[in-house]
Homo-oligomer: A and B are copies of this chain.
């Protein structure tokens, strides 16, 4: 929360606040006819395009902790996590709507800070902010974003197209965002205990993966350039294990992935060791990496193997063989899906 300057939202009122945060927003995409300011935004798509719609809700205390998560980063991440779903369909994000519910602890400056991150992400990914809703909340902040994207007709990639012998590929590396979160949680507890400055030296990368994740726009572009069309694709928001299970379930197939092939950054491994955690478990179940997980026909092996930042981690098998990880010592471990379970009152 902003402490240097605090202007109460009540001093501007709802409509004054909306005016303030939407000021200077001009659409850049030809598909955006009218943005914020009416009952609905007006968009226009070609008949040769398919429109992709994805939505997410983030709740304070569940999805983020404002004691260490700066509002600007939160705004940025909220947008990135949504448009990541559009990329995961092999689409291009074009617009977002943003709904906020704010409790009284938030002031105008806080909302502006949050929006500065939202606007930065929009700029970074060429997305128009076309409307939303701001209202009150009894406790904390709720953010709901809907992302709208396009793909040339018939090119959207679903979860359901993976076939036996397809290669399983993943971008970047896994578990880093989760390790960043563990580090922030540890330093938060330490800071509450005594007056110490958190020590983040040598851990900048995992922090950035947690606090300022990016969506894999360039991989989608590269796949198009290379003329590779994934048979199935999903973004990794709940952990590799869960997402792979989704692909297998929707495609009615099994899979084998290899422990030694799972890409893990050096800082992720160090942090896991410091915290006495199994780094592979972190990579399998740690969420919020926003990397892409996709399958390609085995005929594309050479092309994907040569792609920067893409790793082949396994292959698709018949459904009767189930979903499993092959460990370094050759054991098979069944994969399990994670999901949330309810919390709070």
Contacts and interface: CB of A to CB of B under 8 A. Distances in A.
A345 B61 CA distance: 13
Given A40-B91, A42-B52, A53-B131, 8 more contacts: A10-B342, A13-B339, A39-B88, A39-B89, A62-B101, A102-B342, A137-B343, A142-B142
B340 A14 contact: yes
Contact of A89 (B42, B54, B95): B42
Interface stretch (A30-38, A117-125, A168-176, A326-334): A30-38
A14 to B, nearest CB: 3
Contacts of A113: none
Contacts of A337: 13, 15
Interface in A5-24: 8-10, 13-15
Interface of A: 8-10, 13-15, 33-34, 37-47, 50-57, 59-63, 85-86, 88-89, 91, 95, 97, 99-106, 130-133, 135-140, 142, 144, 146-149, 153, 156, 158-160, 233-235, 250, 337, 339-345
A142 B100 CA distance: 11
A85 B40 contact: yes
A51 B42 CA distance: 6
A285 B217 CA distance: 47
Contact of A103 (B103, B156, B345): B345
A290 to B, nearest CB: 11
B342 A53 contact: no
A54 B37 contact: no
Contact of A47 (B45, B86, B106): B45
Contacts of A339: 13-15
Given A47-B45, A132-B55, A60 B138 contact: yes
A10 to B, nearest CB: 4
A40 B147 CA distance: 9
Given A103-B345, A138-B61, A339-B15, A53 B39 contact: no
A146 B345 contact: no
A149 B53 CA distance: 13
Contacts of A99: 55-57, 144
Nearest to A31: B51
Contacts of A56: 99, 133
B55 A344 contact: no
A9 B142 contact: no
B137 A59 contact: yes
A33 B50 contact: yes
B344 A104 contact: yes
B153 A44 contact: yes
A148 B99 CA distance: 15
Given A103-B344, A131-B54, A146-B53, A234 B62 contact: no
Nearest to A235: B39
Contact of A59 (B88, B101, B160): B101
